[in-house]
A and B are shown apart, each in its own frame.
Chain A
Amino acid sequence: MAAERVRTNNEADNPSSPMLQFGPDKPLKLDAGTVLSPFQIAYQTYGTLNDARSNAILVCHALTGDQHVASTNPVTGKPGWWEVLIGPGKIIDTSRFFVICANVVGGCLGSTGPASTNPATGRPYGLDLPIITIRDMARAQLMLVDHFGIEKLFCVLGGSMGGMQVLQWAASYPERVFSALPIATGARHSSQNIAFHEVGRQAVMADPEWHGGKYLDFGRRPEKGLAVARMAAHITYLSEAALHRKFGRNLQDREALTFGFDADFQIESYLRHQGMTFVDRFDANSYLYLTRAMDYFDLAADHGGRLADAFAGTKTRFCLVSFTSDWLFPTEESRSIVHALNAAGASVSFVEIETDRGHDAFLLDEPELFAAINGFIASAARARGLSL
């Protein structure tokens, strides 16, 4: 376990990804009313930026995602989380596009987050890190995009929390975004979603190993609490139908009920596995910060309560995607964004995809999702004059 801890710490401060460090001259202004400085952004890129710098695609990752979107994850050794979609010859073809994916600020894989060392104390930030918002994440990403000298991103895309960042980009920097592809997301976090996040946070904080957020100082980690948080959250990423199809009431490696509290059912065993593997790769405080960022997201509230005003006069081309069985970000969330974009006179496509795989469908091999992304990217590329 000690070895695991060291490895996580290493990725937080010295990631195996390239990183960009911003000194005291370039602080990150935060919505919390303070600044983060110095800070760093860890990122991955794929493909080559063309001479006109017009073929860049920014991918925004979800709550527990990271910058390793299309290459092997150094912590888990698993393929990139969106390799079904992104890579040479794939729908988002890295032989044509320059794909950037950065770890969000507040994350734990190399961008400054609660597990990073606070230069003021020489110890991990823990809860001394200011609260980070979705807008702060976008602001930091903008500094990275500026670093590459990219005037206008060809596309910004992402699902779930990544989709929130896409919407934030489109609202905050419309002139920097040619096309936007927010998937399985919402313009605000619903009360039910905040509720689920609160359950997760309480599970982490109820673990005695959390130590008021200072667990890294003690060389400990609230693994049990974080695992429970992940188990609860994981249920919300699936659907009842998918769970039933996959597990039903099947028993796990046994012929009969044991009349005890072992994982008799396959679903129990599956969730325990999800929880256990998650704690090996994710920092508990990061989980608190990023769930908070999603809870605080409310794009309409930032624009006088009228979502359409967030997109007033936008020239960005939008494509929204939702999934029929997603109960975390149901289709109605996407539809209300579409209505706002229509009211703003924006160019918008909206596809609802029939699937029983729930919220996580955006990460899976969904042919209709790929067809929509392919059609949208191809027509946007024609409009952008990208010879593909």
Chain B
Amino acid sequence: MNRKEFGTHVSASYNQYLEDLFNQILEMGSLVERQLQASVVSLQNADYDLAREVIQLDKLVNREEMEIDRLCVRVLARHQPTASDLRLIVSSIRIAVDLERMGDEVVKIARLVLSLEARVDIDCQNLQGYKQLVEITSRACDMVKNVLDAFTRMDLSGAAAVIEEENRVDELFALAISGVTKNFKEDKHDVECLLQLVYALRAAERITDHASNIAESVVYLVNGQDMRNMDATALGKYLALMKEE
């Protein structure tokens, strides 16, 4: 399936609506991407202003979600889309929800950075878990970039790569959590910092989950295939098939 298909209707306004919807999703995606990039930098450099910006940006992200809903309803009401057009609407709504959730999760990471602002006495940044958090967030950042590119290009192999990457991040997350658990048991670190770290790690991991969901929506949009009910082996086969394309 090709991106150009959405521009082939007789009605020019229909074409325009779908085009607007498409662009709006990527606009929202770029905001979330910006949030994520800013959160990575603010984690690395303990940049508190940037962390505040991340939280500010979330308001825009929420507004974008409403805008996408509005555009979807407009197309549904005026043109009763079918086939790939209908799939675009369905996946747009799903992607918007995922992006909005991502925005909320990034805010949690930014909150961790801000919670450290007042506490110069503790060295949260030197914990192993903190470094892994930076790593996971940065991976999440790449995943969001790749999944948005895959959406733009209707690129199945790009979407498959994101879904596979998510499994790798899960392993990283498990490792980081076990590290933090160990820190808890040692009883010599600041508990508040460790707790915040767990929240942030969980948030970063959730972001990669949402990225993977978006990748699934892309597959649904392109192939009409719902991947959510596949078991591990079927999924593996299907991913391999998609990568070949």
The answer to whether A and B interact is no
